[in-house]
């Protein structure tokens, strides 16, 4: 409940555009930083590493033959 009261206090506080942008920027950087940290800990970079050099030995899908390579 403490977070809810802190958010309510922040919303009731009078601030100008500069202060608002500071708070909003801090929140955005915090969210991006947290997701970056989670990605780093999990070892994911958003790249598909399952395909390696286009060589599939036991594949029978379209384009698996050497024709056209």
pLDDT, tens only, 9-46: 888 989 999 999 998 999 888 888 888 888 888 886 65
Task: Examine residue 59 and state whether it is found in any structural domain, yes or no.
Answer: no
Task: Examine residue 32 and state whether it is found in any structural domain, yes or no.
Answer: yes
Q: Into how many domains does the chain fold?
A: 1
Contact 45, 39 (CB under 8 A): yes
Domain span including residue 29? 15-42
Phi, psi torsion values for 31, nearest 5 degrees: -65, -45
> How large is the C-alpha radius of gyration of the chain?
24
Residue 2 has pLDDT above 70, yes or no: yes
């Amino acid at each position: 409940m403490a977070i809810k009261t802190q958010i309510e206090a922040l919303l009731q506080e009078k601030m100008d555009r500069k202060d608002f942008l500071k708070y909003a920027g801090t929140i955005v950087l915090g969210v991006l930083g947290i997701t970056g940290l989670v990605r780093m800990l999990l070892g994911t970079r958003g790249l598909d590493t399952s395909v390696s050099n286009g060589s599939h030995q036991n594949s029978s899908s379209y384009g698996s033959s050497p024709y056209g390579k």
